[in-house]
C-alpha cells in the first residue's frame, strides 16, 4: 500500500443515508503502510460458491472488483465494529480533500437544471474561467466519464479533481444549441474552508466562529477568523462546534492548543503500547480571549477533543446539549485501488476522565435545548454566558 502521509482523525457511525457524514464523524485516522506476505488467505467455500454461480446461475457474475468489495463488507459485518469501515475510491478521495482543506480542481460550482443536466458556474479568477468555460455550460464528459442524468454527483466531483497543474479534459455543451465543445482545464489548488465567522446579531462585540469539520487547515483558519473579527470590533467569542462530526486528531489537538496556556489536551493508548499524552507546551495565541463553546448531540470525535479539553482545563464553558460520545481512534490504510480501510485501533480520553465517553458524551456547563422555532436561542444563551459588560 502506498501511504504518503500520516493522518489522524475520528469516525462516528451514522446511517447509510448520510454516508458522507459518517465519514466526517471520524476519530483517529492514521494512514499506515501494512503488508504481510506470510499471510495466505484461503477461502475454499467462497471459491466453490463462485464456481457454482458462474456455471449454473442465470445471471452473469458481478465484476471482480464488486465481488471483492462485497467480500470486504461481509468480513466487516462479521467483525462487528461500527467504526471499522471500508470506503470506496471516490468517497475516499473526496473525504481526503475535505480533511486536507484543499484539493486540485478547476474552480466551478455544479448545479443540475430541472431536466437533470449538469451546469457549470466558474468561480472568479478560477482555472475554469481562464480556460474559457462560461456560466450555464452543460457538462457532457470528464475525461472518459460520460455525464448523464443518473451519474453520481460524487463521481463527477472526483473526476474533476486531481493533481495540481495536471490538465483535465472536458466536453461541454454551450447554449443555445449545446453543440459539444472540448476544453482542457489545468487544475489549481482550491481551498475547502472548514471555518466561517460573523459578528453576532444580538451583540456585535461578540464574534461567532463556526467550525464545520476539523481539517488540517482549521487551526490557521480560526486564527484568521479571530483576527478579522477583532478588527471589526469583537472582543468576545463563541466557538460553534454544533453538528461537527470531527476530523483529524492532530488538528483537533492543535485547535485546542490555540486557546490553552498549559495542561494536557488528551491521552491516547494503542493496544499493547504505552499511554501517550498530548500536552500544551506554550501559551496559545488565543489563550486570553473570552470564549464559550456551543455543542449538541452531533458534536463528536475531534470536535469533542476541542470542547472537552477546553472544559477540562477550565478554559471555556460549554453551552448546549450533551455531545455524541466518541473516543476511539482509527488507523486508515489506503488500498491499491484508491479505496481505504479504517480500523479501530486505540482509545483517547480527556485529562482526569479515563472512563469512556461512549453513551454519555460531554456534559454542557449550561444546558440549552435547541428549538427549531427559535434558532437564535442557543447563541443568545452563549452570549449571556460570556456576559460582556
Query: 30 to each of 7, 146, 277, 320, 345, how far by Cα in Å?
Result: 4, 35, 17, 31, 10
Q: What percent of the chain has pLDDT over 70?
A: 90
Domain that holds residue 144: 103-191
Kindly state whether residues 227 and 365 are assigned to the same domain: yes
- The verdict on 87 and 108 lying in the same domain is no
CATH number at residue 131: 2.30.42.10
Looking at the fold, whether 214 and 318 belong to one and the same domain comes out as yes
Same domain? For 213 and 258 the reply is yes
Residues 209 and 309 in one domain: yes
For the chain, what is the domain count? 2
pLDDT score for 171: 97
Mean pLDDT, all residues of the chain:
88
| Confidence category of residue 23, pLDDT binned at 50, 70, 90 | very low
Domain boundary among 136, 162, 191: 191
Banded pLDDT at 314 (limits 50, 70, 90): very high
168-188 average pLDDT score: 94
* Cα distance between residue 126 and residue 108, in whole Å: 8
Residue 287 sits in the same domain as residue 346 = yes
HEC profile of 352-379: CECCCCCCCCCCCCEECCCCCCCCCHHH
Average pLDDT over residues 158-171: 94
Instruction: Give yes or no for a contact between 307 and 227, defined as CB atoms under 8 angstroms apart.
Output: no
Residues 133 and 197 in one domain: no
Q: Which of 191, 208, 238 delimits the end of a domain?
A: 191
The lowest-confidence range among 41-45, 244-248, 274-278 is: 41-45
Which CATH number goes with the domain that contains 327?
A: 3.90.226.10
Phi, psi for residue 12 in degrees, rounded to 5 = -115, 130
Residues 5, 71, single domain; the answer is yes
What tens digit of pLDDT does each residue of 298-308 get? 999 999 999 99
Listed residues 164, 191, 218: the one ending a domain? 191
Do residues 218 and 272 both lie within one domain?
Answer: yes
Q: Cβ neighbours of residue 199 under 8 Å, at least 6 residues apart?
A: 206, 207, 208, 229, 232, 233, 234
d(CA 373, CA 389): 29
pLDDT for 369 beyond 80: yes
Segment 361-377 shows an average pLDDT of 89
- Cβ atoms within 10 Å of 359's Cβ, excluding its own: 6
pTM of the predicted structure, to 2 decimals: 0.81
12 and 140 belong to one structural domain: no
Whether 324 and 11 have beta carbons less than 8 Å apart is answered as no
Q: What are phi and psi of 246, to 5 degrees?
A: 115, -150
Please say whether the beta carbons of 28 and 50 come within 8 A: no
Quick one: pLDDT at residue 24? 45
Over residues 340-352, the pLDDT tens digits come to 999 999 999 999 8
Q: What is the pLDDT of residue 36?
A: 61
Over the Cα atoms of the chain, what is R_g?
24
Find where cell 487544475 sits.
187
Q: Lay out the sheet containing 291-295: strands in order across.
A: 195-199, 206-211, 236-240, 291-295, 317-320, 366-367
**Contact call for residues 189 and 228 (beta carbons, < 8 A):** no
Q: At 29, phi and psi to the nearest 5? A: -70, 115
Same domain, 187 and 264: no
Shared-domain flag, residues 63 and 148: no
Amino acid at each position: 500500500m502506498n501511504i504518503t502521509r500520516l493522518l489522524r482523525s475520528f469516525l462516528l457511525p451514522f446511517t447509510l443515508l448520510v454516508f458522507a457524514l459518517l465519514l466526517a464523524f471520524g476519530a483517529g485516522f492514521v494512514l499506515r503502510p501494512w503488508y504481510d506476505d506470510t499471510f495466505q488467505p484461503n477461502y475454499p467455500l467462497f471459491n466453490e460458491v463462485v464456481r457454482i454461480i458462474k456455471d449454473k446461475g442465470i445471471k452473469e457474475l458481478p465484476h471482480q472488483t464488486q465481488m471483492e468489495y462485497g467480500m470486504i463488507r461481509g468480513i466487516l459485518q462479521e467483525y462487528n465494529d461500527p467504526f471499522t469501515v471500508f470506503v470506496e475510491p471516490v468517497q475516499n478521495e473526496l473525504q481526503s480533500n475535505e480533511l486536507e482543506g484543499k484539493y486540485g480542481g478547476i474552480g466551478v460550482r455544479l448545479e443540475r437544471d430541472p431536466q437533470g443536466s449538469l451546469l457549470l458556474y466558474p468561480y472568479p479568477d478560477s482555472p475554469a474561467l481562464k480556460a474559457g468555460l462560461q456560466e450555464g455550460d452543460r457538462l457532457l464528459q470528464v475525461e472518459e466519464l460520460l455525464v448523464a442524468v443518473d451519474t453520481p454527483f460524487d463521481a463527477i466531483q472526483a473526476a474533476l479533481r486531481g493533481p495540481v497543474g495536471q490538465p483535465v479534459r472536458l466536453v461541454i455543451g454551450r447554449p443555445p444549441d449545446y453543440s459539444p465543445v472540448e476544453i482542457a482545464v489545468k487544475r489549481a489548488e482550491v481551498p475547502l474552508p472548514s471555518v466561517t465567522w460573523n459578528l453576532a446579531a444580538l451583540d456585535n462585540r461578540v464574534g461567532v466562529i463556526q467550525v464545520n469539520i476539523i481539517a488540517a487547515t482549521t487551526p490557521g483558519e480560526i486564527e484568521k477568523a479571530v483576527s478579522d473579527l477583532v478588527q471589526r470590533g469583537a472582543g468576545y467569542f463563541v466557538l460553534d462546534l454544533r453538528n461537527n462530526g470531527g476530523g483529524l486528531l492532530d488538528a483537533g489537538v492543535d485547535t485546542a492548543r490555540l486557546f490553552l496556556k498549559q495542561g494536557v489536551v488528551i491521552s491516547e493508548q494503542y493496544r499493547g503500547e504505552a499511554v501517550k499524552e498530548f500536552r500544551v507546551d506554550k501559551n496559545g495565541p488565543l489563550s486570553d480571549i473570552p470564549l464559550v463553546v456551543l455543542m449538541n448531540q452531533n458534536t463528536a470525535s475531534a470536535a469533542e477533543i476541542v470542547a472537552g479539553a477546553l472544559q477540562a482545563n477550565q478554559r471555556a464553558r460549554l453551552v448546549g446539549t450533551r455531545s455524541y460520545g466518541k473516543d476511539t481512534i482509527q488507523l486508515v490504510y489506503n488500498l491499491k485501488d484508491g479505496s481505504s480501510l479504517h480500523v479501530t485501533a486505540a482509545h483517547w480520553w480527556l485529562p482526569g476522565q479515563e472512563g469512556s465517553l461512549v453513551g454519555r458524551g460531554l456534559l454542557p456547563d449550561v444546558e440549552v435545548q435547541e428549538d427549531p422555532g427559535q434558532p437564535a436561542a442557543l447563541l443568545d444563551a452563549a452570549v449571556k454566558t460570556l456576559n460582556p459588560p
